[in-house]
């Protein structure tokens, strides 16, 4: 049992060394991470219901959960290989090599990778070779250490037999002279351990070296990652040619109620990028081509020199459940997409744009939304007065008011192709989601929180409502099915959400069911039909139960 446990630790160390070495090499040569490639493959091949389950249960931490799960799986497989290797070395080596081969296959087939073949495959090959070689070395050392262990003490006492090997040899007078012992020191080197087998001390020393390989590789990857996050701080954003409107009274100032503006740190992040792309604005470019008269390639400096617009826009994730919080409002700075399209000329027959992220994610957007002069779709470079954070698309992303993010909000954008909807399928439309998805009218209750015990008397209810790019004209609070018209925040920007409040509800003793519904500026009332987020956004009334004592 002890040998199995030591073998499991050996397999774990080998796996750790392989992953660490691969990440270090990937950082050194700017190649793809095998762990990220396998994780991306898992995201791409997972069914929609599984992704929705992950978002619903883990929210913005879904990627951290996936990465943690992958590393735990690699650790368990490594430990299993090591435990098996105590008695079945070939089987253990085969299992380790198979895990490494999965990483090689993933980087060869992953979307969004355009590196030369050698750069693409090198980190995964390093993981395979290092983990396999480390396991072989440790298993060999474990066996050698076991062979070198002193034999178990023999039986003692009356009647114990003494074997010929245990019998003392006859000593001749000539051999009775004292012997001169010359102390020797075994060389401390990994090469010597490989050549001559390992004793217990050498086995531990080798295990330490292999563990250090994993630590060094991981540390190098971490340092490289931190260094790549420095470029956005060097950018000074120009003043917009068209500033955002001065915001009137948009916040009621009610404790617990979502603010009109969302800070960059608190803004939701839902995407398929397992690791945030680290692009350099100095080398970034975006190719604009397809059904255009004059294809061009834009650089970041081109956007800085262009007339910039500044707009307040609420973004919405299609995975947002009824009453969910996967939305936020920011002040965006960028170049109007319609101006760029006008400069390249659109050919007849085009009705869509396919935009591509640096990680290979694709998005299909109606051309009419991008050229609508009232919508102000933009290639955004700033967010709340700062350069875009890496998490939210640095250096350039798309912002299109009134459309769910999966058909409009491409982050880390590198390609913009004018085309037709019948000529392509985007990432999510190929998985059964709608090709065109305007944001649905929705509202939620935030104050007080559900199931919070209240006292009888006057109670304030409050929350948020939105009908992005149409605007909210009315919010009704249904208290035990009886409608009450809520007050709306005075500031009304149709491209953003709007706070509502019902300040003087006279709460009576008992359990009360509270629901809320909004009406947009066109007079269309929020749908009461309960629907899942797929394929084009959730619907239904947000409803809570409030006990009053």
**pLDDT tens for the chain, residues 1 to 549:** 678 888 898 898 888 888 888 888 888 877 888 888 888 888 888 887 787 788 777 876 777 888 888 888 988 999 999 999 888 889 999 999 999 899 888 888 878 777 777 787 898 898 899 999 888 888 887 777 666 655 555 554 444 454 444 444 444 444 444 444 444 444 444 434 443 444 556 656 666 666 666 566 556 555 555 444 445 567 899 999 999 999 999 999 999 999 999 999 999 999 988 888 889 999 999 999 999 999 999 999 999 999 999 999 999 999 999 999 999 999 999 999 999 999 999 999 999 999 999 999 999 999 999 999 999 999 999 999 999 999 999 999 999 999 999 999 999 999 999 999 999 999 999 989 999 999 999 999 999 988 777 899 999 999 999 999 999 999 999 999 999 999 999 999 999 999 999 998 999 999 999 999 999 999 999 999 999 999 999 999 999 999 998
The H or E element containing residue 477 is strand 472-479
The H or E element containing residue 309 is strand 309-316
Q: Are 521 and 487 in contact (CB under 8 A)?
A: no
Q: How many helices (H) and strands (E) does the chain have?
A: 11, 18
What's the burial of 349, exposed, middle or buried (CB within 10 Å: 0-12/13-18/19+)? exposed
In CATH terms, 442-548 corresponds, of 3.20.20.140, 1.10.357.10, 2.60.40.1220, 2.60.40.650, to 2.60.40.650
Q: Are 457 and 504 in contact (CB under 8 A)?
A: no
Residues in the chain: 549
**CA–CA separation, 144 and 162 (whole Å):** 28
Other residues' Cβ atoms within 10 Å of the Cβ of residue 432:
10
Strands 296-299 and 498-507: unpaired
- DSSP for 166-227 reads TSPPPPPGGGGSPPPP--------HHHHHHH---HHHHHHHHHHHHHHHHHHHHHHHHHHHH
The pLDDT value recorded for residue 509 is: 94
Residue ranges per structural domain of the chain: 2-147+190-227, 285-431, 442-548
- DSSP for 431-476 reads GT--S--BPPPEEEEEESPTT--B-SEEEEEEEEEE-TTT-EEEEE
Say how far residue 260 (Cα) sits from the centre of its chain. 26
> Encoding tokens for residue 64?
């951290």
381 preceded by cis ω (within 30°)? no
Q: SS3 for 446?
A: strand
**CA–CA separation, 55 and 332 (whole Å):** 26
Say how far residue 60 (Cα) sits from the centre of its chain. 8
Residue (of 539, 297, 534, 294) closest to 434 by Cα position: 534
The pLDDT value recorded for residue 65 is: 85
Which CATH number describes the domain made up of 285-431? 3.90.420.10
**CA–CA separation, 82 and 100 (whole Å):** 15
The pLDDT value recorded for residue 223 is: 54
Residue (of 17, 24, 218, 31) closest to 121 by Cα position: 31
**CA–CA separation, 176 and 288 (whole Å):** 95
Q: Are 240 and 44 in contact (CB under 8 A)?
A: no
Please give the backbone phi and psi of residue 400, each rounded to the nearest 5 degrees, phi first: -130, 110
pTM exceeds 0.95 for this model: no
């Amino acid at each position: 049992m002890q040998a199995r446990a030591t073998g499991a630790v050996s397999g774990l160390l080998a796996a750790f060394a392989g992953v660490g070495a691969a990440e270090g090499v990937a950082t050194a040569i700017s190649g793809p991470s095998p762990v990220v490639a396998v994780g991306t493959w898992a995201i791409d091949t997972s069914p929609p219901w599984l992704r929705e389950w992950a978002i619903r249960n883990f929210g913005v931490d879904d990627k951290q959960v996936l990465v943690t799960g992958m590393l735990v799986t690699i650790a368990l497989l490594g430990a299993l290989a090591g435990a098996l290797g105590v008695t079945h070395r070939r089987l253990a080596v085969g299992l380790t090599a198979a895990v490494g081969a999965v990483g090689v296959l993933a980087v060869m087939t992953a979307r969004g990778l355009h590196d030369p073949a050698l750069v693409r495959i090198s980190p995964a090959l390093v993981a395979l070779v290092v983990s396999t070689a480390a396991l072989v070395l440790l298993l060999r050392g474990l066996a050698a250490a076991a062979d070198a262990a002193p034999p178990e003490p023999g039986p003692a006492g009356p009647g114990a037999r003494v074997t010929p090997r245990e019998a003392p040899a006859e000593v001749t007078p000539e051999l009775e002279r004292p012997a001169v012992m010359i102390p020797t020191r075994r060389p401390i080197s990994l090469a010597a351990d490989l050549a001559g087998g390992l004793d217990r001390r050498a086995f531990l020393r080798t295990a330490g070296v292999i563990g250090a390989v994993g630590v060094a590789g991981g540390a190098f990857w971490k340092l490289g990652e931190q260094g790549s996050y420095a470029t956005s701080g060097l950018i000074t954003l120009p003043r917009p040619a068209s500033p955002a409107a001065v915001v009137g009274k948009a916040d009621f100032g009610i404790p617990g109620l979502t603010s009109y503006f969302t800070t960059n740190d608190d803004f939701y992040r839902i995407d398929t990028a397992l690791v945030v792309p680290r692009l350099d604005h100095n080398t970034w470019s975006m190719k604009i081509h397809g059904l255009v008269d004059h294809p061009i390639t834009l650089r970041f400096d081109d956007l800085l020199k262009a007339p910039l617009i500044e707009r307040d826009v609420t973004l919405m994730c299609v995975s947002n459940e009824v009453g969910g919080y996967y939305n936020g409002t920011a002040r965006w700075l960028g170049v109007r997409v319609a101006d760029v399209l006008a400069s390249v000329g659109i050919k007849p027959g085009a009705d869509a744009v396919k935009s591509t992220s640096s990680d290979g994610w694709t998005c299909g957007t109606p051309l009419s939304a991008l050229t609508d002069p009232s919508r102000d779709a933009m290639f955004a470079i700033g967010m709340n007065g700062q350069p875009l954070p890496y998490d939210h698309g640095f250096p350039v992303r798309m912002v299109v008011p009134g459309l769910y993010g999966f058909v409009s909000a491409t982050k880390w954008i590198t390609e913009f192709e004018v085309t037709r909807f019948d000529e392509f399928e985007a990432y999510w439309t190929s998985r059964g989601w709608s090709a065109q998805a305007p944001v649905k009218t929705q509202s939620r209750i935030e104050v007080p929180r559900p199931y919070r015990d209240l006292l009888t008397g006057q109670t304030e209810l409050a929350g948020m409502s939105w009908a992005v790019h149409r605007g909210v004209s009315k919010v009704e609070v249904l208290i035990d099915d009886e409608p009450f018209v809520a007050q709306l925040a005075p500031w009304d920007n149709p491209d953003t959400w709007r706070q509502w409040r019902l300040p003087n509800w006279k709460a009576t003793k008992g359990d009360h069911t509270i629901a809320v519904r909004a009406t947009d500026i066109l007079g269309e009332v929020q749908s009461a039909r309960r629907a899942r987020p797929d394929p084009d956004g959730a619907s239904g009334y947000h409803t809570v139960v409030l006990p009053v004592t």
